[in-house]
Chains A and B, each alone.
Chain A
Amino acid sequence: MSEPLLQKNTRILLIWLAIVLLICSFLFYVVLLLHTHHMQEKQLLLKQQNVWDAFIEKSGNIERHITAEYDIVESAADKTIKLDEPRDTLLHLANRKKTLPFEMLTKNLQWNGRPYHITTYISSTEVSHLIAKVFITEAMILILLLLVIVILNRRSSGLLWKPFFSTMKKIKEYDITRNKPLDLPTETGTTEFNELNNAIADLTSNANTAYYNQKQFVENASHEMQTPLAIIRSKLELLINQPDLTEKAAYMLGDITEANDRLSQMNRTLLLLAKIENNQFPDTEEIKISQILKQTLDNFKRHYDEFPVLIMNIEDNALINANRSLIEILISNLLNNAIIHNQEKGKINITLQSSQLIIENTGLPLVINPEELFERFKKSSYQNKTTGLGLALVKQICQLYHYGLVYEYENGWHRLKVNFS
């Protein structure tokens, strides 16, 4: 399970700091208790000393018993009393009509050869009040501390991670097909983030170079292929004009011509793809989609003797800003796709509504994975006369202009949706 860094940090702080603070509070309480007991013992001893001093000075003529202060008892042989050790007790104070906790200490002392038990008392109430007050104050300070630590931590984390988040935002916006360098600051004020930015900048610049080289390779290779293709084509034209051409040779030449033509066509499409990738269609203008759509449809109808049944629902006002020839290519490829991959006596539905173009055609389900439909050279096995580049071209153009492109298959209908907005 993952959660944001800040939240994770806060959660760890809240759990562990709270545990540590609880343990610390307990320790503090124990130590406080020990110290107060020690203090009470000292006070009891001091009082004992004072009372005994007074007892000896007055030769035993002092009050032998004052409630909550002291007792002097001529030592009977009471061995049950623990000596020299503070004990808890409850005393009833008659004047205040209350029974209160006291601490007492009994000592055995000798005077004129006779043993005496002298016991002194000290009130526990004040001390326990003090302990409670100190403990509450301490607890409040700790809670405050916890809060301050958490808040400070959140604040400083936000500040510390700021370069990281700005880098991440830029990486998210990065698109290798645009071939623009990723512009990251080299000085963020934090060594680790500097290193991160440098590493990412290196990575993307390498990827950019590789991508550029690959695009360049496709374009150059396509260009280089044009001349040999032209030679083959010209020789074929001379060959088919030879006077002594036999029928068998003619059919072979026909096949070669067709294959060579497909090669030329593929080559031209690859070049076009490379050019779109290399952004060589910068001129844009305002285009009415419906106009191009109708124009292309008219052309297609003239080309095909058996055009599939056409149902159109075209809204006239969809305008886009793009390169005209690219949009023509986009639409003619989509339409062509719907015609070629249709079945006999098939149908085509065309819907253009609020800048969404939907082209549906009847046909058998795809043999290939729908996700691979827009990849180059992916085609169904039974269609071997196509280049397998038509929909790749559509995808490339959609990518260039950030149009949405979706394929669906439902009840014998292939549906391609292009969202122009």
Chain B
Amino acid sequence: MKLLVVEDESSLLQSISEYFTQEDFLCEGVLTYKEALNKIEAFDYDCIVLDINLPDGNGLKLLQYLRQYKKEDGVIIISARNSLDDKIAGLDLGADDYITKPFHLSELNARVKALIRRKYAQGANVLELGNLQLDLVSRNVTCGEQKIALTKNEYDLLAYLLNNKNRVVSKQAIAEHIYGDQSDNMPSFDFVYSQIKNLKKKLKEKGCDELVQTVYGLGYKLSL
């Protein structure tokens, strides 16, 4: 998987690159509009993570360029401006997704993977770890041969953890992923805890409970 990250903040770029390199992406990062244009002209990428506020140009123009030359690279816009206009403009120009700063890397990771699956029908539509399987099309979760019935929130939570498997995902990232903006007003993350508790219980019934690990007070991790 080839990924291009266009982000003018070098330390953020470095974080994103590091995260995706660990996810076995071939990750390239550029800091300016010019560099990005050169890269886009020369190579094809599976996904481009694009900051639209660049010092030497607007990221939306890169998007225009891509669509003009019929390049099929998937694009996820990252923007500091959580404005509806930017979002609409970006999606109108053919961006596949839109994410606002500050975002969680695990969320970006989940979205990139979802985009790649959607766009190229690549990678299996089944997320798996050990004998746990989650079918994104039929929304079936199985442990070995046994089907596990999950609520919508539990399913989303499990899919999110599977997308970020072998990684510690913070409670905050989970809360934001499942509840979106509504997580803003939560005074505590107890609801994440109770969702995890329920999920663990259901997994345990089918013998997959060893997979979900709690990492101190930080978050949760799905690994063998």
Contacts and interface: CB of A to CB of B under 8 A. Distances in A.
A229 B215 CA distance: 23
Contact of A251 (B12, B173, B186, B217): B217
A263 to B, nearest CB: 9
Contact of A227 (B9, B168, B179, B182): B9
B12 to A, nearest CB: 5
A333 B185 CA distance: 7
Contacts of A235: 11, 15
Contacts of B22: 241
A309 B100 CA distance: 37
Interface string A226-250: 1101111111111011000001001
A255 to B, nearest CB: 9
Contact of A250 (B11, B102, B186, B216): B216
A201 B16 CA distance: 52
B153 A302 contact: yes
A253 B15 contact: no
Given A254-B216, A332-B182, A238 B19 contact: yes
Interface stretch (A128-136, A264-272, A356-364): A264-272
Nearest to A306: B190
A250 B83 CA distance: 35
Interface string B177-220: 00100101111101100100000000000000000000111110
Interface residues of B, number: 41
A321 interface: no
Contact of B168 (A226, A232, A240, A271): A240
Contact of B219 (A224, A240, A275, A302): A240
Given A227-B12, A251-B216, A302-B153, A257 B172 contact: yes
Given A251-B217, A340-B187, A227 B167 contact: no
A336 interface: yes
Contact of A390 (B9, B19, B185): B185
Given A268-B82, A280-B83, A333-B185, A240 B15 contact: no
Contacts of A332: 182, 185
A237 B216 contact: no
B223 to A, nearest CB: 11
B9 A231 contact: yes
A357 to B, nearest CB: 18
Contacts of B170: 236-237, 240, 257
A303 interface: yes
Give the bracket for the number of chain A residues in contact with chain B: 35 or more
B218 A237 contact: no
Given A238-B18, A304-B191, A230 B185 contact: no
Given A230-B12, A231-B9, A223 B187 contact: no
Contact of B80 (A223, A237, A299): A223
B192 to A, nearest CB: 9
Contacts of B173: 237
A234 B194 contact: no
B81 interface: yes
Interface in B154-186: 167-168, 170, 172-173, 179, 182, 184-186
Nearest to A281: B84
A258 B171 CA distance: 9
Contacts of B70: none
B185 A226 contact: no
B101 A336 contact: no
Given A253-B218, A254-B216, A386-B187, A241 B102 contact: no
A385 interface: yes
Interface of B: 9, 11-12, 15-16, 18-19, 22, 80-84, 100-106, 153, 167-168, 170, 172-173, 179, 182, 184-188, 190-191, 194, 215-219
16 contacts: A223-B80, A226-B101, A226-B102, A230-B12, A233-B104, A234-B105, A240-B168, A253-B218, A257-B170, A257-B172, A269-B184, A275-B83, A303-B186, A304-B191, A305-B194, A332-B185
Given A231-B9, A234-B16, A237-B106, 13 more contacts: A227-B80, A230-B101, A233-B102, A235-B11, A235-B15, A237-B15, A257-B170, A268-B82, A303-B191, A305-B190, A305-B194, A386-B187, A390-B185
